[in-house]
Amino acid sequence: MKATGVHLKAVKKSFGAVDVIRGVDMDVERGHFAVFVGPSGCGKSTLLRMIAGLEETSDGEIFIGDRDVTHEDPADRGVAMVFQSYALYPHLSVYENMAFSLRLAKRPKAEIDDKVREAAGILQLADHLEKKPAQLSGGQRQRVAIGRAIVRAPDVFLFDEPLSNLDAELRVQMRLELARLHQKLGATMIYVTHDQVEAMTLADTIFVLQGGHVQQSGAPLDLYDDPSNRFVAGFIGSPSMNFFSASVDDHTGDGIDVRLSGQPDMTLNLPVSKPPTKGASIVLGMRPEHLVVTKGEGLRVTVDVAEELGGVSYQHGTLESGDPVIFQQAGVRHGMHGTVQTVMPEPGRVFVFDIDGERIR
Amino acid sequence: MTARRARNFAFSGIVLIAAMIWIFPLYWSLTTSLRSENRIVSNAGVLIDELNFASYIEVLSTSKLPIWYLNSVATSSITTAIVLVTGMMCAYALSQLQFPGRKALYLLVVASFMVPVPALYVAQFILMSDLGLVNTWWGIILPQLIVPVVVIVYKQFFDAIPKEMREAVLLDGGGEFTLLFKLYLPLNWGITAALAIITFISTWNNFFWPFLIVTSESMMTIPVGITQVNDAFGVAYARMMALALLAAAPVIIGYLIFQKRVTEAVMISAGVKG
């Protein structure tokens, strides 16, 4: 399978007066697994469909390898797509579904047979080739859809939320299978999902989209460790990051003293290189796993719900200011429900954002 | 017996009586066609009391029934085939292709429902006459090719096919013809069969247009031909009934074979016609 990168230059898409994609630049390197992630309506599926050629590009250029494919037909772009709804042809057998594109391309029978059987072998579908899609389980149908993509030996695989219709257990299993498939084929893959766990586990590069813009891109853990704005910080990581409103109390030698709203007795000293003005309102971000229960001074949390998951537990509560807060505890059965706990962020694990959501470093 | 069972029993009785009333004319045609003329006029009973095939033999040997059969089969088959192919393509365009005036065109198709077919007979006759198609199969066929219900039914079924399947075919390298003949049509074989049956039956049973456009006995379809036998032989009940049954036989046999599909077709077209 030949791998080729995908490059987008100032790509835009409008539906009438509505701008859905507002100038996206993007480089997906060859052989990489890229994931577009973002909330519903952020434009991630539209962007994928534009790469596939299923949506026209209003402005900008799309390159697959060195070829400008912006105005080429979907079939000529060298891409294959796996849809959320599988989009299998219900009147054809599994074999014929996989052979469809090759038959249209008038490939020799022997070649078709070889390719279909090879793909069926990779996807463990060899025993199901004569069945109709309706006779298969959800996971098997999705495998057929992937098989249909594999036989075409495309330059780029496109996945549009392919696991959304599967139950939780199957989703985890298919996720692993996709990761293995990527390793085996070495092809460039672009994957759209709203599930950030899928994004974190599958991606070489994540593109976080919102409002038709790429908010940030990078390796999953880079986005987790170093989000460039509040949206990315909140979107990457599960459970989501806590955000507390605060104000700048004073400037110190290497940063700022910060006072949390509703908890005037506690100040935090945070290192920032470009401190905001004194008295400026800011937002602090702290991940649930970075809040540690302490006996001393800290954030007082009234715990109202405790999610005990076995290995870890998530304690949900509120600060005195009314801001909601979640903190994580390792181990089981803490019995914190209904209690007031004091937590402190681990040093160096507090993110500072300005009032517009941009990161202050 | 519970009240519910009694109600069911009563209901079944009523349905049975209604069915008997419905089928009686057919039964009466059959018994009459199997009797001699003398017996028919001499106050015969309801039960079958004679198996006399003379009327059938006479009709088949003296009339042009076999030719009328051929004309009916040919014109109905050709009409059905053309109506389905053109209706399907029109519906595909209206359902799946983007072009200016698409909605207006669809409204035009729907509006054509409101024009009563007999209102067009004079214009159609003049047109066919100008084209030199009086007394030809094409003269019978052409005006019967306008069947908006086929377009509307197909469009509804094409609209219901998920967009992703269309996109999958486009990505697989297919064009519009591949889409229509390898995806949309195979996914709608059921409705195609149903539409074929209702189109065929309505063309087969059409009397007035073939009656107008055909004057030569050798070009007549069966419903028109029957009226000619009546003229030629005077009122001969057994022969008339034998003819009527022979005329209806293909449709009856067809119905028995495709019973389920015919029911489906009637339901669908009734839904569209409202």
Domain at B129, CATH number: 1.10.3720.10
- pLDDT reported for residue A290: 93
Burial of B132 (0-12, 13-18, 19+ CB in 10 A): exposed
Whether B165 and B264 share a structural domain: yes
Q: Is A356 helix (H, G, I), strand (E, B) or coil?
A: coil
Chain B residues in contact with A89 by the CB 8 A cut-off are 165, 168, 183
Instruction: Dump pLDDT digits (tens) for A284-314.
Output: 999 999 999 988 888 889 999 988 888 888 9
For A201-208, what is the mean pLDDT? 94
Please, are residues B244 and B179 in contact by the beta-carbon 8 Å criterion?
no
Residues near A189 by beta carbon (within 8 Å), at least 6 away in sequence:
A32, A33, A34, A156, A157, A158, A159, A182
For tokens 């409705």, name the residue.
B191
Chain A residues in contact with B173 by the CB 8 A cut-off are 75, 101, 104-105
Whether B60 and B48 share a structural domain: no
Please, are residues B145 and B82 in contact by the beta-carbon 8 Å criterion?
yes
Q: Do A89 and B174 touch (CB under 8 A)?
A: no
- This complex has an ipTM of 0.84
* Angle subtended at Cα A305 by Cα A303 and Cα A310, rounded to the nearest 5 degrees: 110
The pLDDT > 70 percentage for chain A reads: 98
Q: Do B172 and A91 touch (CB under 8 A)?
A: no
Chain A residues in contact with B167 by the CB 8 A cut-off are 52, 54, 74, 81, 83, 87
Instruction: Dump pLDDT digits (tens) for B181-222.
Output: 999 999 998 889 888 988 998 899 899 999 999 999 899 999
DSSP state of B186: G
- pLDDT reported for residue B232: 56
Whole-prediction pTM: 0.82
Q: How distant is the Cα of A334 from the closest Cα of chain B, in angstroms?
A: 49
Whether pLDDT at B271 is above 60: no
Please, are residues A357 and A230 in contact by the beta-carbon 8 Å criterion?
yes
Q: How distant is the Cα of A74 from the closest Cα of chain B, in angstroms?
A: 5
Chain B residues in contact with A53 by the CB 8 A cut-off are 171
Picking from A75, A90, A91, the nearest residue to B173 by CB comes out as A75
What's the rounded Cα separation, in Å, for the pair A136 and B173? 25
Q: Which two tokens stand for residue A330?
A: 């390792």
Whether pLDDT at B137 is above 60: yes
For A215-226, what is the mean pLDDT? 94
Provide the mean pLDDT of chain B. 88
For tokens 């007031």, name the residue.
A340
Q: Do B168 and A104 touch (CB under 8 A)?
A: no
Whether pLDDT at B272 is above 80: no
Whether B100 and B157 share a structural domain: yes
Chain A residues in contact with B169 by the CB 8 A cut-off are 100
Q: Does residue B165 belong to the interface with chain A, where contact is any CB pair within 8 Å?
A: yes
Question: Please, what CATH class does the domain formed by A6-235 belong to?
Answer: alpha beta
- pLDDT reported for residue A48: 95
Weakest-pLDDT range from A6-10, B19-23, B141-145, B233-237: B233-237
Looking at the DSSP bridge assignments, the partners of residue A247 are: A259, A281
Nearest CA in chain B to A51: B171
Residues near A340 by beta carbon (within 8 Å), at least 6 away in sequence:
A300, A301, A302, A303
Chain A residues in contact with B177 by the CB 8 A cut-off are none
Q: How many domains does chain B contain in total?
A: 2
Q: Do A83 and B186 touch (CB under 8 A)?
A: no
Picking from A73, A89, A148, the nearest residue to B183 by CB comes out as A89
| Domain region containing B1 | 1-52
Whether B30 and B45 share a structural domain: yes
Whether B33 and B137 share a structural domain: no
Please, are residues B110 and B116 in contact by the beta-carbon 8 Å criterion?
no
Q: Does residue B173 belong to the interface with chain A, where contact is any CB pair within 8 Å?
A: yes
Provide the edge-to-edge strand list for the sheet that holds A324-330.
A291-293, A340-345, A299-308, A312-318, A324-330
Residues near A218 by beta carbon (within 8 Å), at least 6 away in sequence:
A205, A206
Give the H or E element holding residue B264: helix B259-273
Whether pLDDT at B50 is above 50: yes
Chain B residues in contact with A85 by the CB 8 A cut-off are 162, 164
- pLDDT reported for residue A332: 60
Whether B225 and B256 share a structural domain: yes
Give the H or E element holding residue B103: helix B102-111
| Domain layout of chain A by residue ranges | 6-235, 242-360
Residues near A126 by beta carbon (within 8 Å), at least 6 away in sequence:
A117, A120
- Confidence grade of residue B273 (pLDDT, cut at 50, 70, 90): very low
Whether B252 and B163 share a structural domain: yes
Taking each continuous run of H as one helix and of E as one strand, the counts in chain A are: 8, 21
What's the rounded Cα separation, in Å, for the pair A182 and A201? 13
Question: Cα dist. B199→A117, B119, B187 in Å?
Answer: 44, 20, 20
- Confidence grade of residue A339 (pLDDT, cut at 50, 70, 90): confident
Q: Cis peptide before A108, with omega less than 30 degrees from 0?
A: no
Q: Does residue B164 belong to the interface with chain A, where contact is any CB pair within 8 Å?
A: yes
